């Protein structure tokens, strides 16, 4: 028996053309690469680098930020130094088990960051952590 390997023009094509699929995926990849850095919210801070592993997140944490000018922000709202605890208690609904991330610009005094972390710990907050940039090989 001889098989005719030549396909007639009336038979349906059984090959998938993936070129349009790849084109759409590349366009989506470029769109996400451009928009992803714009999605980060908060106060602009130049964080120090660390080789420590990331912490798992089970609920949305509060973020306390100290920028290079020494201004303090809870989430995106500016707060005075003496009103930090009252504001955090109000935002967290008096739950001292709320996770609080402290972001300090690497140009500010480290003692200022420790002073704020001490205030938080002294007020009963047990889940206080520092945030840093992932370590980059140079």
Which domain does 120 fall in, by range?
49-134
> What is the pTM assigned to this prediction?
0.55
Residue 126 belongs to domain with CATH number: 3.30.420.270
Q: Would residue 74 count as lying in a domain? A: yes
Q: Would residue 53 count as lying in a domain? A: yes
Q: Would residue 68 count as lying in a domain? A: yes
Q: Would residue 26 count as lying in a domain? A: no
Helix (H) or strand (E) holding 111: helix 110-122
Q: Would residue 84 count as lying in a domain? A: yes
Q: Would residue 13 count as lying in a domain? A: no
As for how many domains the chain has, the answer is 1
Q: What is the pLDDT of residue 28?
A: 92
* Mean of pLDDT over the chain: 79
Q: Cα 33 vs. chain centroid, distance in angstroms?
A: 15
Q: Would residue 21 count as lying in a domain? A: no
Higher pLDDT, 73 or 41: 73
Q: Would residue 124 count as lying in a domain? A: yes
* Whether residue 9 has pLDDT greater than 70: no
Q: Minimal CA–CA distance to 119: which of 90, 84, 94?
A: 84
Backbone φ, ψ for residue 100 (5° rounding): -120, 125
Q: Minimal CA–CA distance to 105: which of 96, 95, 116, 97?
A: 116
Can you spell out the DSSP letters for 40-73? --S----PPEE-PPPPP-SSPPEEEEE-TT--EE
pLDDT band for position 24 (cuts 50, 70, 90): very high
**pLDDT, tens only, 77-131:** 888 888 888 888 888 887 777 888 888 888 888 888 888 888 888 888 888 888 8
């Amino acid at each position: 028996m001889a098989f005719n390997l030549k396909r007639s023009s009336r038979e349906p094509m059984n090959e998938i053309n993936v070129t349009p699929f790849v084109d759409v995926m590349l366009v989506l990849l470029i769109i996400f690469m451009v928009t992803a850095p714009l999605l980060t919210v908060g106060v602009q801070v130049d964080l120090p680098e660390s080789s420590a592993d990331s912490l798992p997140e089970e609920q949305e944490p509060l973020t306390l930020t100290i920028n290079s000018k020494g201004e303090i922000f809870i989430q995106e709202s500016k707060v005075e130094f003496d009103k930090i605890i009252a504001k955090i208690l109000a935002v967290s609904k008096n739950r001292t088990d709320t996770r609080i991330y402290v972001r300090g610009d690497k140009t500010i005094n480290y003692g200022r960051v420790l002073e704020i972390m001490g205030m938080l710990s002294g007020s009963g907050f047990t889940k206080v952590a520092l945030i840093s940039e992932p370590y980059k090989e140079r």
